[in-house]
Chain A
Amino acid sequence: MAKYASLVTREVKAPTAELPLERRTFFKLFWRQLRRSPLAMISLFVLLLLYAMMLAAPLITQYVGYDPYQVYVGGRNEGPSAKHWFGTDHLGRDLFSRVVWGSRISLTIGLLAASVTVLVGALLGAIAGYFGGSLDNLIMRFTDVVLNFPFLFFAITIVTVIGPSFWNIVWAIGFLSWPGIARIVRGNILSLREREFILAARAMGAGAGRIIFQHLLPNTMAPIIVNATLTVAGAILAEAGLSYLGLGVQPPTPSWGNILLDGKPYLASNIWYTLFPGLFIFITVLCINFLGDGLRDALDPRLSTQG
């Protein structure tokens, strides 16, 4: 008996001792793969710059010396100059500092909405996939229903009904985006749960929560990461679209979308007003998409041959 006990403890100990090492090699391997794609690395670098700009917005505008809300007398709808790098808007506010501050809305809503999407989607997908049966059926039917909603129409309806504010936009985008991830996670877990290591975990007395969070979800990380990245891109575009329709964060708070809305009447007289905020949306989303593509190749080499 004592002999067996020591055998069992040794066997149980061995994998737990190796676990951190395994994890590190997964990320190392993944990082090595990602570094091979110059496009993904450049995109990552640009995105880090953009997020640094977002965090440092107060410092940047202080350095430039223009407040995003203050009206500067003397120049309305001016083109770019040494004074106002991106020119001024129709009220005479400095467009550069407005675009820099606008990143706070666009970039954080993108991240937060994607977080809501991933949390809800992964959780519901994992529950549906692990428990199966009628619970699975119920969750997946509801997923189908939400998947059938035309995104922009529902986003507009929800935001009109509950009011356009920062968090309401996050909830609206999150509520409409989770089904994609739920489906992917469920599909992965359906096949994973039949594997031996899950049987082993169950034999050792692990509960459903432990199996889902410790064993199943970590093994579906690859598709979740890729999808989360693309969700950030989608959320930024959706927020910009809603803001452009006047349903985003309300002025005078700048966001890239509502600067574009404000600038539309002055398209003929001041193209810079439209050019710069849109360019920031475009570059951000482009970099996220490139990064997502690189992540997909790095995490799943099988897919890379198929483009």
Chain B
Amino acid sequence: MIQYIIRRTLVLIPTLFVTTMVIFLIVQLAPGDPLEIFVSPEVKLTPEEKARIRHQLGLDRPLYEQYARWVTDFFVGNMGTSFNYKVPVWDLIKTRLWPTVQLMGLSLLLALLVAIPAGVLSALRQYSWLDNTVTALAFFGISMPNFWLGLLMIFLFSVYLGWLPTSGMISPGGGGLLDRLAHLIMPVFVLSTGFIAGFSRYMRSQMLEVMHEEYVYTARAKGLKESIVIFKHILRNALLPVVTLLGLSLPIFVSGALITEQVFGWPGLGQFFWQAATQRDYPVIMAILTLAAILTLLGNFLADLAYGLVDPRIRYD
């Protein structure tokens, strides 16, 4: 097991290396002088001043040196300075992280609470009206552009009915728990519909697979009660891969909510990334991309490990 962890970690390193290199290169492809983004266009600079700033930013170094410096700095916790805000990138990310984590955590929780029972029931009653309804809703869920769903909800619940606030995290001046919850309802609902659609299909197919295992027939044949067969023999085994799903969901805590945050004016990381992209704030763009890629790798890694822990059939050798 420990050997496996070490080997997997060693594989992560080249992947991470190539990932950071691709990120660096994509940003290098950008036309124009980064200096012009760093310094506002109204400021007229002499060539000497330009050269000095260029030197300060390290832009006069060869590309591979710039890359090496960026990567080593990144992994000791220095993500550079934002072009736009002129403050360390991490300080900016820090304040946007919590709103996104809050939003995604609640959406994921709601999605699991709805999708697991929905998937289980529709597998147990395959091809019943319940199963067909769940299937139809899942198809609607994956086909609906979530920003459109968000816009329609804003129209219905904020404009027409006037029940919920249109955007933001708290009302100006307000800030009680109820006020915060009211702001969360619509974005959480929109985000979780997408997850519910995917998760419930996944749960259903896992259930159907386990339901046709030999040991399930054995359990029935030896006269166990149907409830015991379902809960102890089928459900417990069908739930195992959900652990993997949770691991794979890790990166969405950084990258999952971009458009939804945009629709609801939620001050999270996704919206911040979008602003940085439109302002060409490259240090911020690179930092968030790298963070998201690291979380994806970590999520895959944890998913594999966790799956091995809960399922004794998986052996690492």
Q: Chain A interface (Cβ within 8 Å of chain B)?
A: 141-142, 144-146, 148-150, 152-154, 156-158, 160-163, 233, 237, 240-241, 244-247, 260, 264, 267-268, 271, 274-275, 278, 281-282, 285-286, 288-290, 293, 305-307
Contact = CB atoms under 8 A, between A and B. Distances in A.
B152 A150 contact: no
Contacts, number: 124
Given A152-B258, A274-B148, A307 B19 contact: no
A24 to B, nearest CB: 32
B258 A267 contact: no
B95 to A, nearest CB: 19
Q: Report the interface size class on chain B.
A: 35 or more
Interface in B1-33: 14-15, 18-19, 22, 26-27, 29-31
A289 B143 contact: yes
B208 A305 contact: yes
Given A144-B15, A145-B19, A306-B205, A260 B139 contact: no
Contacts of B296: 148-150
A156 B139 CA distance: 26
Interface of B: 14-15, 18-19, 22, 26-27, 29-31, 126, 135, 139-140, 142-145, 147-148, 151-152, 154-155, 159, 201, 204-205, 208-209, 251, 254-255, 258-259, 262, 273-274, 277-278, 280, 285, 288-289, 292-293, 296-297, 300
Given A161-B29, A307-B205, A286 B273 contact: no
A246 B278 contact: yes
Contacts of B140: 286
Contact of B145 (A158, A237, A246): A237
B18 A141 contact: yes
A286 B143 contact: yes
Contacts of A305: 208
Given A274-B152, A307-B135, 10 more contacts: A145-B18, A149-B296, A156-B258, A156-B274, A245-B259, A264-B151, A267-B155, A285-B145, A305-B208, A307-B205
Contacts of B147: 241, 244, 260
Closest 10 CB pairs of A and B: A278-B148, A150-B255, A286-B143, A285-B143, A150-B292, A148-B296, A161-B30, A268-B159, A160-B277, A145-B18
A307 B136 CA distance: 12
Contacts of B274: 156, 245
A153 B273 contact: yes
Contacts of B258: 152-153, 156, 245
A150 B254 contact: yes
B143 A141 contact: no
Main secondary structure on B side of the interface with A: helix
Contact of A148 (B26, B152, B293): B293
Contact of A157 (B15, B27, B126, B155): B27
B255 A152 contact: yes
Nearest to B280: A160
A293 B142 CA distance: 13
Contacts of A293: 139
Given A233-B143, A244-B147, A282-B144, A275 B278 contact: no
B204 A307 contact: yes
Contact of B208 (A154, A240, A282, A307): A307
B145 A241 contact: yes
Contacts of A288: 143
Max chain B C-beta neighbours (<10 A), residue from A141, A152, A162? A152
B185 to A, nearest CB: 18
A190 to B, nearest CB: 20
A60 to B, nearest CB: 23
Nearest to A305: B208
A214 to B, nearest CB: 34
Contacts of A162: 29
Contact of B277 (A146, A156, A289): A156
B292 A281 contact: no
B48 to A, nearest CB: 30
A156 B262 CA distance: 13
Nearest to B119: A307
B291 to A, nearest CB: 10
A142 B204 contact: no
A285 B259 CA distance: 18
A163 B22 CA distance: 18
A233 B143 CA distance: 8
B152 A278 contact: yes
A66 to B, nearest CB: 24
A141 B22 CA distance: 13
A103 to B, nearest CB: 15
Contact of B278 (A142, A160, A161): A160
B50 to A, nearest CB: 23
A240 B145 contact: yes
Contacts of B14: 141
A145 B15 contact: yes
Given A153-B289, A154-B289, A156-B277, A289 B144 contact: no
Nearest to A162: B29
